[in-house]
């Protein structure tokens, strides 16, 4: 049977793969314009379809409750099944008149709810299997969610021309959204389990986390660089589209080498230990002395590693010990919860609304293909999600605790300026602002999971975080509807608006709202700092 160390890292690899495919709604901007034409719907009704995917998160707390009573692999498969049904039925009956608008809404909501189930599994695996490094593990895994749009657009481009000629762009993406999550979940299912360490000292002796985390960081950075190269233009550096696709898939598979390497190392160590015990047994005269020396060395090693863990342990473990566990209705009576809820809605959720509207924004500005813009936002969102992992890892090693609420506040700060830059009609500002908003939104959504843990404790995390992310559908409904209303007004009775003015008022409103969200999060940081404190970790 695999040792605890390799199984822990295998669960992280499974979480990474699940996060990579768990953003099928991120490719909606690529085919939204065509979907609007196929079904003959207005921009407002199209926006409600984007909201429908987020509306599924209103019932995401069911996933948290299910995770308390069911194996995590069952929870993940349930989420994948919801996506298979939600997108699969749309694919099969898209051209049929019998597939009404309300059918699309319900099916999209079902698929959106499935995303919550898979996310819950990934969060719980990272928190429970890496209790001393949960912040880093969560940030690493969720960073790959930023690559979902890039993953699906790359996969759509590799489909043979004959198949693409047979199906519309909308049908291609609906098929991928339905099938890919189920296939990947089935592959990853054996690794989706929490492993309890029976012998803490034995685990300390065998397990070293620094080298695997450093290797994971290197692989993750290389994967992000590969994604950005493909988004900006692989051909400009002499790399064909096919070569880029193959390299991208190889980079996504590389994390699997870490648990394999650990398994080989553990097996080798076990063989050496067995050989040493045989040698001791064969030399009875030297047995007691050898055993005593061996035991002394083991105790010294264990004590040294325990001391290192205490010095370099992350802030989450330190803060969670003194953090009051909050759950149920008590959560809704907390002022900190509402400050957190609305600051998240006025920043991260608003960024997601912008990304959902990228297809229509690109179309209004005359860009022929929105997939490049979507891939760009996905790639920079990936690095944004990865940024908290770097900060957590290196601040923990230096012995400092970095407040999650403070991190969220300074991550929100650049977003108002990015929305104001979008007022300029040049495409250069559109690409630059998309990169900034994608980075900040990705980082905020990555930090949010650990922020919920920091503010309200670990015990009820699965339910608490799904209650917090209910702000996403609320923000999608409010801000998305206003943007669609302004867009439709600019279309003058038609279904298409052209020019930079189509979203001008929306960008102004979004910029002001992000500024308010930053102020609310600053207040939350001030309150949480008084209650928990930050700074140097105890030695």
Does the residue 277 lie in any domain? Answer: no
**189 and 333: one domain?**
no
Q: Are 539 and 399 in contact (CB under 8 A)?
A: yes
Q: What is the mean pLDDT of residues 219-232?
A: 81
**Alpha-carbon distances, residue 448 vs 55, 257, 463 (angstroms):** 19, 29, 14
Q: Is the model's pLDDT at 302 over the cut of 70? A: no
- Inter-residue contact 334 to 468 (CB < 8 Å): no
Helix ranges (H only) for 404-494 are 404-412, 414-421, 427-456, 461-468, 471-490
Q: Tokens 């190269």 appear where?
A: 229
Which of 197, 231, 253 terminates a domain? The answer is: 197
In a domain, 50, yes or no: yes
Radius of gyration of the chain (CA): 25
Q: What angle do CA 174, 102, 505 make, to 5 degrees?
A: 85
DSSP label at residue 346: I
SS (H, E, C) 88-120: HHHHHHCCCCCCCHHHHHHHHHHHHHHHHHHHH
Rounded to the nearest angstrom, the gap between the alpha carbon of residue 238 and the centroid of all alpha carbons in its chain is 31
Burial class (CB in 10 A: 0-12, 13-18, 19+), 262: buried
Mean per-residue pLDDT for 93-121? 91
Phi, psi of 201 (to 5 degrees): -65, -40
Last residue of a domain, one of 150, 175, 197: 197
Looking up tokens 């047994």, which residue turns up? 281
Q: What share of the chain is helix, strand, coil (3-state, %, to 5)?
A: 80, 0, 15
The predicted model scores a pTM of 0.74
Which of 167, 197, 227 is the C-terminal boundary of a domain?
A: 197
The answer to whether position 103 is within a domain reads yes
Characterize 350-379 residue by residue with b for buried, 16 or more Cβ atoms within 10 angstroms of its Cβ, and e for exposed. Answer: bbbbbbbbbbbbbbbbebeebbbbbbbbbb
Q: Report how far residue 73's alpha carbon sits from residue 451's, in angstroms, rounded to the nearest whole number.
A: 25
Which residues partner with 535 through β-bridges?
A: 401
Residue 212 placed within a domain:
no
Pairing status of strand 535-536 against strand 400-401: antiparallel
- Taking all residues of the chain, what is their mean pLDDT, rounded to a whole number? 81
What was the pLDDT predicted at 421? 92
Give the domain extent around 404: 329-532
- CATH (domain of 57): 1.20.1250.20
Model pLDDT, residue 84: 96
Tell me the C-alpha distance between 348 and 371, whole Å: 22
323 part of a folded domain:
no
182 confidence band (pLDDT: 50, 70, 90): very high
Q: Which residues contact 317 (CB under 8 A, 6 or more apart)?
A: 131, 132, 134
The answer to whether position 185 is within a domain reads yes
In the chain, the number of structural domains is 2
193 and 334 housed in the same domain: no
pLDDT tens digits for 34-61? 898 888 888 888 888 888 888 887 888 8
Q: Closest by alpha carbon to 342, among 208, 190, 522?
A: 522
Percent of the chain topping pLDDT 90: 29
pLDDT digits (tens, 9 = 90+) for 477-508: 899 888 888 888 887 767 778 888 888 999 99
Residue 281's alpha-carbon distances to 79, 206, 351, in angstroms, are 54, 23, 66
pLDDT at 86: 95
Q: What is the pLDDT of residues 378-429, one digit of tens each?
A: 888 888 888 887 777 777 666 666 788 888 899 999 999 999 999 988 888 9
For residue 4, the model assigns a pLDDT of 44
83 with 114: CB under 8 angstroms?
yes
Residue 197 tokens read as 């360490």
Domain contains 305: no
Distance CA(33)–CA(247), nearest Å, equals 30
The reply to whether 383 falls in a domain is: yes
In whole angstroms, what separates CA 31 from the centre of its chain?
22
């Amino acid at each position: 049977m695999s040792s605890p160390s390799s199984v822990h890292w295998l669960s992280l690899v499974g979480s990474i793969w699940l996060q990579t495919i768990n953003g099928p709604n991120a490719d909606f901007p690529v085919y939204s314009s065509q979907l609007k034409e196929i079904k003959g719907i207005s921009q407002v009704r199209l926006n409600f379809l984007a909201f429908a995917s987020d509306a599924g998160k209103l019932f995401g707390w069911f996933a948290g409750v299910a995770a308390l009573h069911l194996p995590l692999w069952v929870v993940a498969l349930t989420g994948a099944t919801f996506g298979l049904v939600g997108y699969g039925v749309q694919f099969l009956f898209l051209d049929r008149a019998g597939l009404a608008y309300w059918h699309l809404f319900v099916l999209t909501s079902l698929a959106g709810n499935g995303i919550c189930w898979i996310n819950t599994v990934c969060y719980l695996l990272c928190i429970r299997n890496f209790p001393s490094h949960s912040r880093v593990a969560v940030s690493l895994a969720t960073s790959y969610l930023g690559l979902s749009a890039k993953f699906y657009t790359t996969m759509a481009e590799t489909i043979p021309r004959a198949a693409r000629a047979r199906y519309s762009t909308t049908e291609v993406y609906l098929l991928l959204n339905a099938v890919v999550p189920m296939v990947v979940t089935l592959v990853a299912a054996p690794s989706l389990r929490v492993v309890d360490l029976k012998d803490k000292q034995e685990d300390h002796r065998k397990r070293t986390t620094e080298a695997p985390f450093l290797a994971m960081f290197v692989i993750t950075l290389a994967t992000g660089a590969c994604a950005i190269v493909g988004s900006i233009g692989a051909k400009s550096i002499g790399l064909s589209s096919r070569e880029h696709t193959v390299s991208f898939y190889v980079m996504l598979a590389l994390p699997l080498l870490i648990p394999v390497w650990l398994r080989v190392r553990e097996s080798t160590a076990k063989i050496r230990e067995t050989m040493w015990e045989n040698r001791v047994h064969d030399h009875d005269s030297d047995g007691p002395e050898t055993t005593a020396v061996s035991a002394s060395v083991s105790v010294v090693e264990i004590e040294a590693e325990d001391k290192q863990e205490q010095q370099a342990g992350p802030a989450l473990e330190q803060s969670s010990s003194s953090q009051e566990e909050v759950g149920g209705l008590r959560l809704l009576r907390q002022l900190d919860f509402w400050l957190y809820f609305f600051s998240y809605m006025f920043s991260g959720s608003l960024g997601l609304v912008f990304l959902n509207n990228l297809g229509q924004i690109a179309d209004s500005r005359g860009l022929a293909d929105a997939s490049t813009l979507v891939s760009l936002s996905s790639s920079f969102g990936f690095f944004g999600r990865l940024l908290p992992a770097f900060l957590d890892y290196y601040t923990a090693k230096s012995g400092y605790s970095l407040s999650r609420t403070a991190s969220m506040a300074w991550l929100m700060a650049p977003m108002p300026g990015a929305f104001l830059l979008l007022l300029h009609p040049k495409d250069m500002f559109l690409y630059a602002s998309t990169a900034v908003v994608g980075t900040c939104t990705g980082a905020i959504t990555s930090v949010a999971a650990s922020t919920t843990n920091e503010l309200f404790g670990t015990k009820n995390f699965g339910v608490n975080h799904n209650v917090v992310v209910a702000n996403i559908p609320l923000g999608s409904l409010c801000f998305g509807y206003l943007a669609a209303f302004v867009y439709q007004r600019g279309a003058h009775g038609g279904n298409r608006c052209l020019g930079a003015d189509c979203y001008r008022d929306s960008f102004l409103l979004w910029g002001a709202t992000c500024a308010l969200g930053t102020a609310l999060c600053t207040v939350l940081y001030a309150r949480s700092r008084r209650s928990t404190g930050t700074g140097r970790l105890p030695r």
